[in-house]
Chain A
Amino acid sequence: MAEQPLIFARGLVKRFGDFTAVDGIDLSVAPGEAFGFLGPNGAGKSSTMRMIGCVSLPTAGELRILGMDPARQGPAIRARLGVCPQLDNLDPDLTVEENLITYARYFGMPRGLARRRAAELLEFVRLADRAGGKVEPLSGGMKRRLTIARALVNEPDIVLLDEPTTGLDPQARHLLWERLFQLKRRGVTLVLTTHYMDEAEQLCDRLVVMDGGRIVAQGSPRALIAEHSTPEVVELRYGQESPAEVAVKLAGVGRRVDALPDRVLVYAEDGDAAAAQAHERGPAPASVLVRRSTLEDVFLHLTGRTLVD
């Protein structure tokens, strides 16, 4: 028999007044999986995460976390979750270390153990040297790391990370990714949201693309690209001509041609060949870039919009 999913949702809906933020989604996350939500602002990612985190009750539909019902067993479920919310809510009145110890106590951890765990986690996110300091002077990336450390304090079965790396510099992002990889190797189930397709590709075994409260595609990053895009993409920029006009002339080149406000995208099996063809048919481009297809292209194809707007 297949293992029971840790997170299971069917027809999950969240409404705020008349507004439907999450519009009937189905989910199933297996133990040990790294699962991602990808989508633009307002897609309903955080609303979904908050329902999974049992801090927001579904308006309709079925939701089971760790086999339990969030409406009736909230505290028991939350005891086994680690949550990194989109907005940091570290306690500014406490030191870095006290933030972790206090939080561990909310999970009923004995003091001594909480202290040891806090020290371990501060090592893990490389904040040990700030242990006795205040939270406020930490940089954005340090606060994010502390929030993630806090989410791990109870050794959770599922870690929910809502945009864990937004606002971080590349170095801090890579450190975080590396830490999340370590968790994954230990068998922790990760659920994360992101605007960054590279993050989704790096971290997620499987992901769903959300738009307007619905799931518009799902699968592994590779499968999504294979299904909804071509192996390669040519990005063409022009001097005078508008991308829309050029796109008309390029019709038939590669598998598909899309005009963006600042460039034309040609989707093709063979990027170099398509670039040469575009050169023949259209005006001379100011710049040409041949690259692999990414989730961004998948998203653009599915929704007609870019991910980061």
Chain B
Amino acid sequence: MAAVGDARGARPVSPASTLAVLERALTVYRRVWRGSVFSGFLFPVMFLVAFGIGVGGRVGQVGGVDYLAWIVPGVLAATAFQTAVGECAFPVFGDFRWTRAYHAMRATPVRVGDMVAGWLLYIVVRVEIATAAFLLVSALFGALRSPWAPLTPLVCALVALAAAAPMMGVAARVEHDGWFALVFRFVVIPSTLFGGVFFPVERLPAVVRPLAWLSPLWHGAELNRAATLGGVPPWPVAAHLGVLVAFAAAGAVLAWRCFSRRLED
């Protein structure tokens, strides 16, 4: 199935069109950024206070460091993961159903690949803003223990892409927004609770541990943890990165297909 009017074998994206799509997203965001500061920044800070200081005071140490320092990298990854999924649910669905922004783009030289790539770039921008602020606060809490910590924004960008790309496909595909509640209930929340954010997955029964491995969040949390605490992640770094890249790549193809399908007639 080819996107409408796109030559087979032609470049799927053009940089100028992709940037134009990103620009539109940022123009809209500029108007609502104040609200998003709350979820992207204040929320994780409240997490840190509640879990790191409140719960941490009772838990003591995990893996040789205090609990706050242990969960910071996980919460960082979880923030990227949740922001990405959230921004690719209703906003993408709405741009097909309500604003019909994608239908407007389709009448221009913008290709389906540009629509997908432009929105993914926007997600990365959003996630980086949230991550940067969060890192700063974590540094103030004294939770960054390794010179590798500045690599976490890169990991967060990958986690965001790995979560956003498939979610865009879902948002373009579903006929009803009720599906998003299921995604949150059965993917986002379990990933956050059991994906190595608040406690090591080794504490999970061995049979369910592979479920955590399936979540991009666990790979991101472990890479971030290695970066902020200076340890070695459970899998080779290349394996963790490979899983994230595979999610992002497969997700992008899925998104491209679902977008094309939704826009063709």
Chain A residues in contact with chain B, CB under 8 A? 16, 50, 53-57, 70-79, 81, 83, 85, 87, 89-94, 98, 102-103, 105-108, 154
Contact = CB atoms under 8 A, between A and B. Distances in A.
B128 to A, nearest CB: 22
A56 B265 contact: yes
Interface residues of B, number: 32
Interface stretch (B24-32, B68-76, B144-152): B24-32
B201 interface: no
A108 B20 contact: yes
Given A76-B109, A78-B108, A106 B20 contact: yes
Contacts of A94: 24, 27-28
Contacts of A55: 4-5, 103, 106-107, 263
B20 A105 contact: yes
A2 B6 CA distance: 30
A55 B6 CA distance: 10
B118 to A, nearest CB: 10
Those 3 A-B pairs whose CB atoms lie nearest each other, nearest first:
A74-B5, A89-B100, A106-B108
A105 B20 CA distance: 5
B99 A105 contact: no
A93 B263 CA distance: 21
B111 interface: yes
B6 A75 contact: yes
Given A74-B5, A78-B109, A91 B24 contact: yes
Contact of A108 (B16, B99, B111): B16
B42 interface: no
Contacts, number: 92
A78 B5 contact: yes
B249 interface: no
Contacts of B103: 55, 85, 89
Interface in B14-49: 14, 16-17, 19-21, 23-24, 27-28, 31
A74 B20 contact: no
Contacts of A74: 4-7
A105 B14 CA distance: 13
A77 B5 contact: yes
Contact of B5 (A73, A90, A103, A108): A73
Contact of A103 (B17, B108, B111): B108
A73 B9 CA distance: 12
A111 to B, nearest CB: 9
Given A75-B5, A103-B108, 12 more contacts: A16-B265, A55-B5, A71-B5, A74-B5, A81-B107, A89-B103, A91-B104, A102-B20, A106-B17, A106-B105, A106-B109, A107-B108
Contacts of B98: 92
B9 to A, nearest CB: 10
Nearest to A78: B109
Given A93-B99, A108-B20, A103 B7 contact: no
A45 to B, nearest CB: 15
B99 A89 contact: yes
Contact of A102 (B5, B27, B109): B27
B107 A53 contact: yes
Contact of B24 (A79, A102, A154): A102
B115 to A, nearest CB: 10
A126 to B, nearest CB: 22
Contact of A98 (B6, B14, B27): B27
A91 B99 contact: yes
Contacts of A108: 16-17, 20, 109
B107 A73 contact: no
Contacts of A78: 5, 107-109
Contacts of B263: 55
Contacts of B177: none
Contacts of B107: 53, 55, 78, 81, 83, 85
Nearest to A111: B23
30 contacts: A16-B265, A55-B103, A55-B106, A55-B107, A56-B4, A56-B265, A57-B264, A73-B7, A74-B7, A75-B5, A75-B110, A75-B111, A78-B109, A85-B107, A87-B100, A89-B103, A89-B104, A91-B24, A91-B99, A91-B101, A92-B99, A94-B27, A98-B27, A102-B20, A102-B23, A102-B24, A105-B23, A106-B108, A106-B109, A107-B109
